[in-house]
Chains A and B, each alone.
Chain A
Amino acid sequence: MASQAAEARTARRGLSLGRFGTLVGRRFRFIVIQLAGAATLAFFLIRLVPGDPARVLAGPAASPATLAELRRHLGLDDPLPVQYFTYLLNLLRGDLGTSLTTGQDVSVDLWQRGPATLELILFALLVSMLIGVPLGVALARRREKRSGKAIFGYAMFSGSVPDFWLALILLYLFSFKWEIFPPPIGRLGFESPPDRITGMFTVDSILAGDLATFWLAVQHLALPVLTLTLVYSGLIVKVANASSEQAFGAGFVDLYSSAGVRPALARRRATRLALPPVITVAAITNGFLLGGAVLVEQVFAWGGVGQYAVQAVRGADFAAIQGFIVMAAFFNIANYLIADIALLGVDPRLGRTGA
């Protein structure tokens, strides 16, 4: 009996690993196509927007001859199909081009700035989940009570407020008026950053044992994270609420109760049932946070890829805009892949239906 149980566990383990492998394998087949599609859209859509990179680079006083030479130097005088295929070939080699805004390779720019945005997004997602899920579950139990109505009101309010406006309000109150948090001067103000390991100052300072810098980084993170959380956690509250209502109202919960099963076990089973929509909305929120970070980074002078993207758009920096879009596409592909893996872990039935 014991060996049969062990064999069954081994078989289930193999089956689980197999499902994960199948899922990841299926996704990777499409990643190249998805990225190529995003790159193509980026290439052509950007060129529909007014703005001449050569003119921006050379300045308004440049002569026509100078502009022509610059366009030749930038490859902008080639026919559009030639530019496109050159771009795709370079992309396959990992060459995202050179930014007119910074003068560096776009890949270098994204590498330097990416951790700033990732740190912001991850903290915002974490706080959003820590606040949103419990509030959603609490709403399911307290809908008719005053606290439930307050939570419901917050869920409705959140998401309807422009993030850049909220950022300015929070800065005015918490930084300027009450001086609780530091001013919007980037991730550490004028202090020197820790030695780069991950590029995320909170993580790097902890790894370096520098608690003072860690605390400073957290203080600078507070307001931008709070801004993103207040704007984007509403969806998590609503989904967590709906999901937990459904899960805790399921028939088996009553059956467990009637059969004398420990309430903790019933709650654990119900929680697992409620998880998939929450995981899905976390992935969706993560994707939204990248977009939300763009304007929030502008307000807080964060120095991440969002601020970089805005600079690139204003300067008609084609390579930088394209690079950002491809990076964002990759981020979202990875984001949803992780979510799908998590879903499969929580609900193996999804693997049978080819999720």
Chain B
Amino acid sequence: MKLSRTLLLLLLALSLVAASCGDDDDAAEQPTAAPEPAPVEDQEPAEEQPADEPAPEPEPAAPDVDRTLRVAVAALPVTLDPEFAPGQESVEIITTVLDSLFWFEAEPGADGVRSATELAKGDAGMVPGLVESFEVSDDNLTYTLNLRQGVLSAAGNEFTSEDVRWMLARNFGVGVIGAFVVGIAKIPSMDAVTVIDDYTVEISITTPNPLLLRALQLQTISPVDSAVAKEMATDDDPWATEWMQLDTMGFGPYYVDEFTPGVQLVLKSNTNYWRGEPFFEEIIYREIPDSSQRLTLLRQGEVDIAENLSSRELESLGADEGKTVSVVRNQVIFGAMNTLGGPTADAKVRQALQYALNSDQIVSSVYEGNAKALRLVAPEEYPGYNADLWPYPTGGDADKATALLAEAGYAEGFEIPLLVNADVSDHDDVAVLIRDSLSQIGVDVVIDTKPAAAYLEQANSGDIGIVLHQGYAIVSEIPYHYQLYVSGPTGFLSFGGFNNPRFDGAIAESLSVLPGSERTELVHEIQQILADEVPHLSVVGAPTRYGFGLDIEGYTWYPNNQIWFYDLSRS
């Protein structure tokens, strides 16, 4: 009896220990840490470079001001490699760690929120970043980039032409998202990239490119500290993809200190940063999957920023609990309609659905006015945007819609599925109101909500009725926006298979012409075709929103819809 009891207890204890025991030697291999930042005193003092845009002067803070920023996000990055980083969460971290060749001019918008002017000005809204100045040849095909000197990464390595060359070569070598980006830049191959000296790089493009400077701002081209990357590379992995999964090192204001995927990511400030050391010395990203808990943490002051909150949650934030930052800029919500099959293959039917749609109701009911009714599937701030070409009232016109449906032979209406991404907040509510609008004309919308992975698979299968999608173009240009989201043959996000040779031809031509009268005419033509054919339902211009702590200041909107943490401070 005693032996049985003793043995039982021993076995129970052993099983507990065996199930979880492991010392540090057996412990999971930790993510490879980036080299510790070299202390500034060991380096040549960086020559002070006047910033081309005035760096925000942090107010002298009281000694006990908390210099740690805590951010609650729905999901941490899957990877820190810009080649494989499709999600917002990855882009935000990568942008913070890797400074870019060009940056955005910013000034207060009409709503008082400081915003990048690129949205309306295009390339003219870009200012030097790691590139201090540049020259363009007379034929607009050769760009000579003069790099900023004395820029140090957190590892203490100086930014040189080799970093630019290496990152561009990586875009071609790995070629996932990078292939897409060098395509936007129209850099045909690495033969078009020439290193002149340590601080001068020459890039030759095939045709004039009105998007080049913005393409050179994108995170896939933003230089990694190639000295560190090469140390991490192997013969089997020459582009250090394994290292960049969980770590990276750039010339930006922060570096990755710790990354436990799915749990927490910690950034520390780069004391060598060329614009000056950031206010926050540490940024802690914590994954909090439940949005109501992110809101609760913000209310309790446990976090300073809560991302991915729904409209209702933000509305419920009390004035003494936090503040809502909500800006409507370049995010659009549209319903991609199947133009190859089903009732929506007929342009008249698509026009009818657009006439029936009451976007104003969605703006007021779902977003409490913090959105805009969308027209022409594009933000109205885009250069060359012409709202006069859009005949569809944003409040809907059921009579006109019904008449058009009858002309098309669908007087009795029809049933159509609406595919919705379950992981995007508020889309369920938007879908309900779309259904409500279309039911007025006898169209029965069947809402099909799926998690992100299944949603993407279905959306790209071609077997769709309407796909509700939210996104933004990384370059604020109508031709690029339509090429990405509307054009069936070229756009990977068009879903509906819209194929109009005149439309695609005008887009391609306009992307090879610099701003001027010819381009203006082409952009006008593109919009006219879109207004006539209505391949997508224009739903709303959606807000970029955050919950901020009351003492967090300095938010600036950028076209990548990320927070640039360097701007922020605590009052």
Contact = CB atoms under 8 A, between A and B. Distances in A.
Nearest to A164: B290
Given A49-B454, A66-B175, A111 B22 contact: yes
Contacts of A185: 286, 288, 297, 302-303
Nearest to B484: A61
Interface string A47-65: 0011111011111111100
B297 A184 contact: yes
Contact of B492 (A50, A61, A171): A61
A298 B86 CA distance: 23
Interface in B429-467: 450-454, 456-460
Given A112-B28, A183-B300, A52 B293 contact: no
Given A55-B460, A184-B296, A307 B262 contact: yes
Interface string B139-183: 000000000000000000000000000000000000111011000
A345 B10 CA distance: 12
A100 B81 CA distance: 13
Interface in A313-355: 313-316, 334, 338, 341-342, 345-346, 348
Nearest to B286: A185
Nearest to A317: B453
Contacts of A307: 262, 289
Which applies to chain A's interface (DSSP): helix, strand, loop or mixed? Answer: helix
A281 interface: no
Interface stretch (A87-95, A140-148, A192-200): A192-200
A102 B493 CA distance: 25
Given A59-B177, A109-B261, A298-B289, 20 more contacts: A16-B3, A16-B4, A50-B457, A51-B457, A69-B176, A101-B262, A104-B245, A172-B296, A185-B288, A186-B264, A186-B286, A196-B22, A199-B20, A298-B290, A301-B289, A303-B264, A310-B289, A313-B451, A314-B452, A345-B8
A55 B299 contact: no
A348 B176 CA distance: 63
A156 interface: no
B110 interface: no
B287 interface: yes
Contacts of B457: 50-52, 55, 316
B261 A104 contact: yes
Contacts of A102: 78, 261-262
A108 interface: yes
A28 interface: no
A55 B456 contact: yes
Interface stretch (A114-122, A128-136, A224-232): A114-122
B493 A60 contact: yes
Interface stretch (B11-19, B96-104, B408-416): B11-19
B57 interface: no
B78 A103 contact: yes
Contact of A168 (B12, B22, B264, B292): B292
B78 A315 contact: yes
Contact of A348 (B4, B28, B85): B4
Interface of B: 3-5, 7-8, 11-12, 15-17, 19-24, 27-29, 31, 70, 75, 78-79, 84-87, 175-177, 179-180, 245-246, 260-264, 284, 286-290, 292-293, 296-297, 299-300, 302-303, 423, 450-454, 456-460, 471, 484, 492-493
A66 B179 contact: yes
B492 A183 contact: no
25 contacts: A51-B451, A51-B453, A51-B454, A52-B453, A55-B460, A58-B176, A61-B180, A61-B492, A61-B493, A66-B180, A101-B78, A103-B79, A109-B261, A176-B300, A184-B290, A185-B302, A196-B22, A199-B20, A200-B20, A299-B293, A301-B288, A303-B287, A311-B289, A342-B12, A345-B4
Interface in A144-185: 168, 171-172, 175-176, 183-185
B200 to A, nearest CB: 32
Contacts of A345: 4-5, 7-8
B11 A338 contact: yes
A218 B285 CA distance: 23
A196 B20 CA distance: 10
Contact of A59 (B87, B245, B303): B87
A342 B14 CA distance: 13
A190 to B, nearest CB: 6
Q: 4 tightest CB-CB pairs across the interface, nearest first?
A: A59-B86, A51-B453, A102-B261, A316-B453
A62 B176 contact: yes
Contacts of B264: 186, 303
A111 B28 contact: yes
Interface in A14-59: 16-17, 20, 49-53, 55-59
Interface of A: 13, 16-17, 20, 49-53, 55-63, 66, 69-70, 99-104, 108-109, 111-115, 118, 122, 168, 171-172, 175-176, 183-186, 189-190, 195-200, 298-301, 303, 307-308, 310-311, 313-316, 334, 338, 341-342, 345-346, 348
B247 to A, nearest CB: 10
B23 A197 contact: yes
B530 to A, nearest CB: 20
Contacts of A17: 7
Contacts of B179: 63, 66
A19 to B, nearest CB: 10
A299 B85 CA distance: 26
Contacts of A109: 28, 261-262
Pick from B176, B292, B484 the residue with the most CB of A within 10 Å. Answer: B176
B186 to A, nearest CB: 16
Nearest to B474: A61
Contact of B453 (A190, A195, A315, A348): A315
A301 B12 contact: no
Given A50-B450, A55-B456, A176-B296, A112 B260 contact: yes
A341 B8 CA distance: 7
Contacts of A70: 176
B16 A122 contact: yes
B415 to A, nearest CB: 21
A176 B289 contact: no
A199 B262 contact: no
Contacts of B21: 197-198
Contacts of B87: 59
Contacts of A122: 16
A189 B296 contact: no
B293 A103 contact: no
B70 to A, nearest CB: 6
Contacts of A57: 78, 84, 86
Contacts of B459: 60
Contacts of A200: 20
B287 A63 contact: no
A203 B199 CA distance: 55
Given A56-B452, A66-B176, A199 B22 contact: yes
A108 B29 contact: yes
A198 B12 CA distance: 16
Contacts of A334: 15, 19
B4 A346 contact: yes
Given A118-B19, A122-B16, A108 B28 contact: yes
Nearest to B295: A176
A176 B301 CA distance: 11
Contact of A60 (B4, B86, B284): B86
A200 B284 CA distance: 22
A56 to B, nearest CB: 5
A52 to B, nearest CB: 5
A269 to B, nearest CB: 11
B171 to A, nearest CB: 13
Nearest to B14: A338
A20 B284 CA distance: 50
A56 B78 CA distance: 10
B453 A63 contact: no
B330 to A, nearest CB: 16
Contacts of A189: 302
B421 to A, nearest CB: 10
